């Protein structure tokens, strides 16, 4: 549902918001931050151009109204939740509260706004801040929604039967690990694990030799649901606050040895990197597109189907992966793009993910995180992982500087980026999720 905040003609008095960057006035994503190296309290912020609107400072300057008038449902009440050290309470407040804060900021940041004088002192350069995870994440579920990724990986493991029978009937997922979630800039040692090397008859404990990334989106839950009360697919998006970038690092050798019969464990739980900015579902409204299931494919069961899902349940989000090796960094060479794909190719929508997650009565909570699973496109160069791009390590990538990569080496930095772009809407970006591999043992 488009409104005045989506108008592509809007411009801001923050001049950097007029560039071709990720954060024009039509975006206004949320994060949690403080000034770099300071002992300041963490608080909510909103991106505009190359600046952060300090929401705690904006509340003090009266941008959202008087604190004395903070009745439930008021804009100032929502802003008080958004300024907190985590966004859980703001996420729990629901779509009307999110929209009220977004509208107030949009109006105050527009060129010619009367609030400019008050708000200018609330801006902090993004180059001068450090970020934290935007919410207290108590539960993290990782889905497997790209049929192109599932098929490509399945062919490596089961050439004659790449997709398992259940894939086209339900959104596959597993429960992940929250304690190793980190914000962009995360560095982690190469994981140890048990695996069976080619030709060996006995497994060994060693550093993973087949370390990989996964190009994903993260979905933050807003209002939850009571235990035992499923969320209907037609109402699911009312429970979704917004999206971020997510890199679910994977030790493929460990994963291959352990994943049967109960699924991922040590091959997945050592690090997951998120972008700091959450792009709200409202900001993405101009980039909705229809979700279609060919008639030759199994049609979703009724609890996963609704007219609004088919009509506008998909999102056209372009996704990119960049690699910078240690040698490239020392030579000050720019990161190399490895692949590009789009979330519009996903086999299941975010509404279907939420509906399936709760159909058994599972209760989601504000700040819960869902991963979309690796997002790959229909052609081999659109693979969202090295496992696909190198065909399981059998076809190494040749880099312009003479290096090769089958899987990640120590010192490698992977950066995920995403944006939406169209002829009749402003470009909306997600910032980046960047992480670096350190040698085993630190």
Helix (H) or strand (E) holding 257: helix 252-258
Which residues, in sequence order, are CB contacts of 69 under 8 Å at separation 6+?
76
Return the pLDDT at 417: 98
Q: Which residues of 344-362 are buried (b: 16+ CB within 10 A; e: fewer)?
A: bbbbbbbbbbbbbbbbeeb
| pLDDT (0 to 100) of residue 86 | 98
Q: Which two tokens stand for residue 240?
A: 């979704």
What's the rounded Cα separation, in Å, for the pair 90 and 57?
17
Q: Given the structure tokens 């403080």, which residue do they identify?
A: 34
Q: In 290-432, which residue ranges form alpha helices assigned H by DSSP?
A: 307-312, 326-330, 350-358, 386-389
- Cα 116 to Cα 138: distance, rounded to the nearest angstrom: 38
The helix or strand, by DSSP H or E, that contains position 44, with its residue range, turns out to be strand 43-48
Q: Give strand pairing partners of 278.
A: 30
63-73 burial by CB neighbour count: b if 16+ within 10 A, else e? bbeeeeebeee
pLDDT at 231: 98
pLDDT at 311: 97
Topology of domain 4-132, CATH: SH3 type barrels. (2.30.30)
* Catalytic residue flag (residue 149): yes
pLDDT at 91: 98
Distance between CA atoms of residues 278 and 354, nearest Å: 18
- Fold of the CATH domain 140-438: Fumarylacetoacetate hydrolase; domain 2 (3.90.850)
For 295-309, give the DSSP string. Answer: TTSPPPPGGG--HHH
- 166: CB partners within 8 A, 6+ apart: 172
Residue 438 exposure: Cα atoms within 13 Å on the Cβ side: 10
pLDDT number for residue 159: 86
Q: How far apart are CA 16 and CA 38, in angstroms?
A: 25
pLDDT score of 368 more than 80? yes
Query: Between the CA atoms of 234, 236, 240 and 242, what dihedral angle is there, to the nearest 10 degrees?
Result: -50
Judge whether residue 201 has pLDDT over 90.
Answer: yes
Give the DSSP per-residue string, 177-241. Answer: -STTEEETTEEEEPPEEEE--TT-SS-EEEE-SSEE--EEEEEEE-S---TT-PPPGGGGGGGEE
Domain boundaries, the chain: 4-132, 140-438
For range 171-191, the mean pLDDT: 97
Tokens of 126: 């993004």
Count of all residues that appear for the chain in the document: 442
The pLDDT tens digits for 95-129 are 999 999 999 999 999 999 999 999 999 999 999 99
The single residue listed with the structure tokens 């971020």 is 244
Give pLDDT, residue 69: 87
Query: Quick check: bond before 261 cis, omega within 30?
Result: yes
Q: Give pLDDT, residue 408.
A: 98
> Under a CB-based contact definition with an 8 Å cutoff, are residues 220 and 133 in contact?
no
What three-state secondary structure class fits 67?
helix
Q: What is the pLDDT of residues 142-167, one digit of tens each?
A: 999 999 999 999 999 888 889 999 99
The whole-model pTM stands at: 0.97
Percent pLDDT > 90 in the chain is: 95
- Helix ranges restricted to H, 34-188: 55-60, 75-82, 88-93, 95-109, 116-120, 147-157
pLDDT for the residue 442: 61
The confidence band for 322, taking pLDDT boundaries of 50, 70 and 90, is very high
* pLDDT number for residue 96: 97
Measured CA to CA, the distance from residue 324 to residue 235 in angstroms comes to: 42
Measuring CA to CA, which residue among 217, 274, 214, 213 is closest to residue 243? Answer: 217
pLDDT at 441: 87
Helix (H, G, I), strand (E, B) or coil at 407: coil
> What's the pLDDT score for residue 246?
98
Helix residue ranges, H only, 259-325: 307-312
What is the band of 170 on the pLDDT scale with cuts at 50, 70, 90?
very high
CA 24 to chain CA centroid, Å, is 19
Instruction: Look over the chain and give the mean of its residue pLDDT values, rounded to a whole number.
Output: 97
Choosing from 149, 239, 356, 357, the catalytic residue is 149
pLDDT, tens digit, for every residue of 325-361? 999 999 999 999 999 999 999 999 999 999 999 999 9
CB 419 within 8 A of CB 279: no
pLDDT for 299 beyond 70: yes
Euclidean distance between CA atoms 332 and 324, whole angstroms: 10
Q: How many CA atoms lie within 13 A of 132 on its CB side?
A: 18
pLDDT for residue 203 is more than 70: yes
Let me know: does 424 contact 289? Beta carbons within 8 Å.
Answer: no
């Amino acid at each position: 549902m488009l409104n005045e905040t989506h108008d592509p003609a809007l411009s801001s008095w923050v001049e950097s918001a007029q560039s071709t960057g990720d954060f024009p006035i039509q975006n206004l994503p949320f994060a949690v931050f403080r000034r770099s190296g300071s002992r300041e309290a963490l608080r909510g912020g909103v991106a505009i151009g190359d600046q952060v609107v300090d929401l705690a400072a904006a509340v003090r300057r009266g941008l959202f109204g008087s604190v004395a008038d903070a009745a439930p449902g008021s804009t100032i009440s929502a802003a008080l939740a958004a300024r907190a050290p985590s966004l859980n309470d703001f996420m729990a407040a629901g779509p009307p509260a999110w929209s009220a804060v977004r509208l107030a900021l949009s109006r105050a940041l527009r060129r010619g706004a009367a609030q400019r004088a008050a708000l200018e002192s609330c801006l902090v350069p993004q180059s001068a801040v450090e970020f934290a995870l935007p919410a207290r994440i108590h539960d993290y579920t990782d889905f497997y929604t790209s049929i192109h990724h599932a098929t490509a990986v399945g062919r490596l493991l089961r050439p004659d039967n790449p997709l398992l029978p259940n894939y086209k009937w339900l959104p596959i997922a597993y429960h992940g690990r929250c304690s190793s979630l980190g914000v962009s800039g995360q560095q982690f040692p190469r994981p140890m694990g048990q695996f069976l090397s080619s030709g060996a008859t006995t497994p060994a404990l060693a550093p993973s030799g087949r370390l990989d990334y996964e190009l994903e989106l993260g979905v933050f839950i807003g209002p939850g649901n009571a235990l035992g009360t499923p969320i209907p697919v037609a109402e699911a998006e009312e429970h979704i606050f917004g999206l971020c970038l997510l890199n679910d690092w994977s030790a493929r050798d460990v994963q291959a040895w352990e994943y049967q019969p109960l699924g991922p464990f040590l091959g997945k739980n050592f690090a997951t990197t998120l972008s700091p900015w959450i792009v709200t579902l409202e900001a993405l409204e101009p980039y909705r597109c229809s979700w279609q299931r060919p008639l030759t494919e199994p049609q979703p069961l009724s609890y996963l189907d609704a007219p609004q899902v088919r009509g506008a349940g998909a999102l056209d989000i372009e996704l990119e992966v960049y690699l910078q090796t240690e040698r490239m960094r020392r030579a000050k060479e720019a990161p190399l793009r490895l692949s590009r794909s789009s979330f519009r190719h996903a086999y299941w929508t975010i509404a279907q993910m939420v509906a399936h997650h709760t159909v058994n009565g599972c209760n989601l909570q504000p700040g819960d995180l869902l991963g979309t699973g690796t997002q790959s496109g229909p052609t081999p160069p659109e693979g969202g992982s090295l496992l696909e791009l190198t065909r399981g390590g059998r076809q190494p990538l040749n880099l312009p500087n003479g290096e090769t990569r089958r899987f990640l080496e120590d010192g490698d930095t992977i950066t995920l980026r995403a944006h939406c772009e169209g002829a009749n809407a402003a470009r909306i970006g997600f910032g980046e999720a960047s992480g670096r591999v350190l040698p085993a043992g630190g």
